[in-house]
């Protein structure tokens, strides 16, 4: 990046206090992947018996680390596991060089950490189309392994940032059979956010004991309701990955426990919202709900059409209650809609009903809602009972400033 990006006005007041999760240790280091002196590599080492599940981008141009991780899910947990993440270079669209880089890093992690290579999961984020200088990462692995410590998760969150203006973390605790289970997670993501499984990079750790297939079901379900319901700019990354590791160190089996699944969902929702609030150039957090659809899938199609519309997003940035742009987005989505049945609200303000501007509509009240940091747009299609909610941000000139010179 050409210069430092200003902190998002929607950023939380502080990074949360993330507790130690028994069974995982962290280390970070500056390897010079792209920028000298910047902490850009994170290592997490997990104890034997750790179950690992994940969801990944379905982009047809998936990066080499994504393909490698997908192939490794469901492996024998007996030898433990490790996550190695670098920022600055996505190792995507790099052909055989990308595959070689993954192999070299995986083998080096395996040797240094004493973890089977089949249980080393790597991720890369940053510029696409440039070979990853994996030798710089490999050269630091001895130092990384020696620096592992239980309380290093906050540093890990900072090491994986690219255009993020703040590190993202979340924590949940849940009581299961009278014992406390801890779940902590970190994420990176700011632009190229329109997930098709998950989004950006997310790493979640828990001391719960659970079989891999059960953990996989939980994270897949939660991803559909969280990361798959956010968008910043309609662009799906080549590198999107969500990995969740259950170390089992608490000894508490959470298989079939609804409260644990709910806690994972809440944590993923928290991280997903933080990504939207850090959307490149964002000044407003936007919730869009479409109800009255014939199916939930069609409700989501309409909601995402509104959320991804540059015209809608720029109107929100300009604090303009331009409901005509919402109507336009519904009409272009391809899902069923009837113009004469539509109702639209901005916050609590009824804007349109029965396919026409409402007699009760107040432009001043709608404009007042648009001046806030948090915007709610609600559409009722009048066709059925299905509902979907998605989250996005506005589109400002700062998005252009950030992305016009991303590689410089």
- What would the pLDDT profile of 197-225 be if each residue is shown by its tens digit? 444 799 999 999 999 999 999 999 999 99
Helices within 150-284 (DSSP H only): 153-159, 212-225, 258-277
Q: Yes or no: say if 24 and 113 are a contact pair by the CB < 8 Å rule.
A: no
Give 280's pLDDT tier (boundaries 50, 70, 90): confident
Specify the range with the lowest mean pLDDT, choosing from 42-51, 138-147, 191-200, 308-317: 191-200
Q: What pLDDT is stored for residue 30 in this prediction?
A: 97
**Cβ neighbourhood burial of 213 (10 Å; 0-12, 13-18, 19+):** exposed
Give 237's pLDDT tier (boundaries 50, 70, 90): low
Give 191's pLDDT tier (boundaries 50, 70, 90): low
Q: What pLDDT is stored for residue 198 in this prediction?
A: 42
**Average pLDDT over every residue of 352-365:** 94
Specify the range with the lowest mean pLDDT, choosing from 80-89, 229-238, 241-250: 229-238
Annotated binding site for substrate: 162, 188, 199, 280, 403, 408
Q: Within 10 A of 182 (CB to CB), how many other CB atoms are there?
A: 20
| Whole-number Å distance between alpha carbons of 350 and 343 | 8
Q: Yes or no: say if 239 and 201 are a contact pair by the CB < 8 Å rule.
A: yes
Percent of the residues in the chain that have a pLDDT greater than 90, as a whole number: 84
Q: Yes or no: say if 349 and 370 are a contact pair by the CB < 8 Å rule.
A: no
| Whole-number Å distance between alpha carbons of 270 and 172 | 10
Residues acting as catalytic residues: 199
Angle at alpha carbon of residue 127, lines to 126 and 132, rounded to 5°: 85
| Whole-number Å distance between alpha carbons of 52 and 395 | 36
Q: What pLDDT is stored for residue 311 in this prediction?
A: 95
């Amino acid at each position: 990046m050409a210069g430092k990006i200003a902190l998002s006005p929607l950023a939380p007041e502080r990074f949360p206090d993330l507790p130690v999760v028994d069974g995982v240790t962290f280390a970070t280091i500056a390897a010079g992947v792209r920028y000298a002196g910047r902490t850009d590599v994170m290592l997490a080492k997990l104890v034997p018996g750790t179950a690992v599940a994940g969801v990944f981008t379905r982009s047809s141009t998936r990066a080499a680390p994504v393909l490698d991780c997908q192939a490794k899910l469901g492996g024998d947990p007996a030898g433990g596991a490790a996550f190695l993440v670098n920022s600055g270079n996505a190792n995507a669209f790099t052909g055989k060089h990308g595959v070689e880089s993954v192999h070299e890093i995986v083998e080096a992690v395996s040797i240094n950490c004493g973890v089977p290579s089949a249980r080393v999961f790597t991720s890369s984020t940053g510029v696409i189309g440039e070979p990853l200088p994996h030798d710089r990462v490999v050269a630091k692995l001895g130092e990384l392994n020696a620096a592992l410590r239980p309380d290093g998760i906050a540093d890990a969150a900072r090491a994986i940032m690219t255009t993020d203006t703040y590190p993202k973390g979340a924590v949940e605790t849940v009581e299961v059979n009278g014992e406390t289970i801890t779940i902590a997670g970190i994420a990176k993501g700011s632009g190229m956010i329109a997930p098709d499984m998950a989004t950006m990079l997310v790493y979640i750790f828990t001391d719960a004991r659970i079989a891999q297939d059960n953990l996989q079901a939980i994270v897949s379900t939660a991803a559909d309701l969280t990361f798959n319901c956010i968008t910043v700019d309609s662009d799906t990354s080549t590198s999107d990955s969500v990995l969740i590791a259950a170390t089992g160190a608490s000894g508490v089996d959470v298989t079939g426990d609804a409260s644990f699944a709910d806690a994972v969902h809440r944590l993923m929702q928290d991280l997903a919202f933080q990504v939207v609030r850090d959307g490149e150039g964002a000044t407003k957090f936007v919730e869009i709900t479409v109800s009255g659809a014939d199916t939930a899938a069609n409700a989501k199609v309409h909601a995402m059409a509104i959320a991804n519309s540059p015209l809608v997003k720029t109107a929100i940035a300009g604090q303009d209650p331009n409901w005509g742009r919402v109507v336009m987005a519904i009409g272009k989505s391809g899902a069923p809609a009837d113009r004469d049945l539509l109702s639209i609200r901005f916050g609590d303000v009824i804007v349109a009903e029965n396919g026409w501007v409402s007699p009760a509509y107040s432009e001043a009240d709608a404009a007042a809602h648009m001046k806030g940091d948090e915007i709610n747009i609600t559409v009722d299609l009048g066709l059925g009972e299905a509902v979907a909610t998605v989250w996005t941000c506005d589109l400002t000139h700062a998005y252009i400033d950030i992305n016009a010179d991303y590689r410089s």
